[in-house]
Amino acid sequence: MPKQTLVMKFGGTSVGSTDALMKATQIVKDARAEYPRVVVITSAMSGVTNLLLDSAALAANGKVDSLPSTESTLREKHFAAADDLIKDEKLREETKAEINSLILSLVDLCKAIAVLGEASPRAMDAVASIGERMSVRLLGAVVNDAGIKAKAIESSEFIITNAHYQSAHPDFKVTTEKTRAILNPMLDDGIVPVTTGFIGATPDGVITTLGRGGSDYSAAVIGSVLPADDVWIWTDVDGVMTTDPRIVKDAKTLPEITYSEIAELAYYGAKVLHPKTIRPVVDAGIGLRICNTFNPTHPGTRLIANAKVNGKVDGQVVKAVTAIRNQRLVTIEGRGMLGVPGVAARAFGAVASTKTSVPLITQASSEQSICFAVPSESAESVINALQAVFASEIEDEDIDRVWMTENVSIITVVGVGMRHTPGVAGQVFTQLGNNKANVLAIAQGSSEVSISMVVAAADTELAVRSLHELIVH
C-alpha cells in the first residue's frame, strides 16, 4: 500500500530565520508531492523560548524594565521574516497583527507576574507557549503564500493533557479522538495543518507544555494517534552522529539506530531525541527519521525496531560515544555499612530530597562504599543532605566520610551489537589504557546496550577520541 500520511516537525533553527523558513517551505512542498496527507509541527524560532522564560523570571523578581527591548526583539525577528517571505499584503498584515497581539499578551503576563512577585508553573507554561504560537502563524502564512494550501492551528485544541504544568502528560484516548476529528477533515481537503509543538491544554482549555523535548514529543503523539506512516524530525544536523563532531572531526552520521540505542544516547548527553519522544512512535510501529533542514538530500538517520537486530549490525559493535560533562562523583564509604540494610535507600532518599537526578551508580560488592554521579551544580546540596541523613553514623564512625571528586565526565559507549559480542568491555578499557585515560568508576546495565565510565574532566576529549576509534568505519 502506498504511504499516505507524513508528520514532519521543524526544530527552532529550522524556522529560525528567513533562509531557514524558505528551506522548510520547500521541504513541505517536496513532501506534499510524495505524500497526499502532510502534517507540519513547528517549534518556536530559535532563541525565542529562552527570551520568553528569561522575561518571566525577571518579572518574578519585580524587574520589568527589559520588557520593551524583549518586545522589539520579538517583533523584529518575526516581522522581518514575514516581510521577506509573505508577498500577499493582506495575509502579511493579518499575520503580523496576530503575532503582535501575542507579544502584547506576553507583556501583560509578565506585568501580572511582577505584581504577584512569583511565576506559578501554570503562568510559566502560558509564557513558554507564546514562541510556538507566534511561529505557527508565521510558518502557516509562509507555506500558504508559497502556494501550498495550509492552515495554522494550535495543538492545544487537540492535544489534551493533565494539569501537570511544565511537564504535562497527554490523555491519549481524548487526544486520539480530538486529533482525528480536527486534522482528518483538513487532510481530506488537501490542506496541510501547520501546528504547534510543545504545547497542549487541560480539559478546561488551560495551556500546558510537554516539558523537555516537547516538540519532538508532539510529533510522536500526533504521528501515533492519526496514525501516520512516518514521522520526520527536521533539525540542523545530518541525523545522529557517532560522537560530538566538535571533539572528533571524522564523526559520521549513523544511517540506522535502534530504539534502545537512541534512548541510551539521549540519556547520556547526545543532543538527539528525548527518550520520552520515541515511545508513542515505537508503540505504534511507525517509522521515524531524523533529517537536516539545511541538507535535505541527506538521508539522515532512521530509527529501527530492536527486533530487527541480530547480533552485530553492519559489523558494528560500538556505534556511538557520548560525553556528559560537569559531573561530580559522590562517595559514601565506611566499614560500618557492611550488612546494614537500607543504607542505599536512605542515601538516594537524601539525594531525591534535593531534586537531583543521578545518571550513574556503582557499588562495590563488599558494601563498603556507594559511589554515584550528580551534576556539579547540585553536588554541594547533595553532600549536605547526605551528611544530615547519616549524621549519627558519621559520629559513630560507621561511615568514615561522604566526599566528592573534582569535576568529572561520564563517557558512554553505545551499541546493541555489544550484547552478543564477548570481550567488548576488555577492548574498551584496553583502548583507554593504551591512550593513558584513567577510569575512576564503571557502570554497565544488564541490557548491555551501553557501558559508562567516569573520567577526570581533563581526560574527556582524549577518552572520546580513543573510544571513537573502536567504531568500524
Q: Does any domain span residue 189?
A: yes
Q: What would the 3-class secondary structure string for the chain be?
A: CCCCEEEEEECHHHHCCHHHHHHHHHHHHHHHHHCCEEEEEECCCCCHHHHHHHHHHHHHCCCCCCHHHHHHHHHHHHHHHHHHHCCCHHHHHHHHHHHHHHHHHHHHHHHHHHHHCCCCHHHHHHHHCHHHHHHHHHHHHHHHHCCCCEEEECHHHCCEECCCCCCCCECHHHHHHHHHHHHHHHHHCCCEEEEECCEEECCCCCEEECCCCHHHHHHHHHHHHCCCCEEEEEECCCCCECCCCCCCCCCCECCEEEHHHHHHHHHCCCCCCCHHHHHHHHHHCCEEEEEECCCCCCCCEEEECHHHCCCCECCECCCEEEEEEEEEEEEEECHHHCCCCCHHHHHHHHHHHCCCCCCEEEECCCCCEEEEEEEHHHHHHHHHHHHHHCHHHHHCCCCCEEEECCCEEEEEEECHHHHHCCCHHHHHHHHHHHCCCCEEEEEECCCCCEEEEEEEHHHHHHHHHHHHCCCCC
- Please tell me the predicted confidence (pLDDT) of residue 313: 44
Whether 183 is covered by a domain: the verdict is yes
- In the predicted model, residues of the chain with pLDDT beneath 50 are 307-314
Per-residue model confidence (pLDDT) at position 282: 78
Q: How many domains are contained in the chain?
A: 1
Residue at 48: amino acid letter: V
Q: pLDDT value at position 309?
A: 44
Q: What's the pLDDT score for residue 279? A: 81
Per-residue pLDDT tens digits for 31-41: 999 999 999 99
3-state secondary structure of 431: helix
- The verdict on residue 109 lying in a domain is yes
Q: Residue ranges of the alpha helices (H) in 285-358?
A: 343-353
> Would you state the pLDDT for residue 274?
72
> Would you say residue 269 lies in a domain?
no
Domain coverage including residue 164: 5-236
The residue written with cell numbers 521541504 in the block is 27
Judge whether 194 lies within some domain: yes
Q: Is residue 403 part of a domain?
A: no
Residue 68 pLDDT: 96
In a domain, residue 435? The reply is: no
Residue 19's domain is classified under what CATH number?
3.40.1160.10
Q: What is the pLDDT of residue 366?
A: 61
Examine residue 119 and state whether it is found in any structural domain, yes or no.
Answer: yes
* pTM of the entire predicted model: 0.85
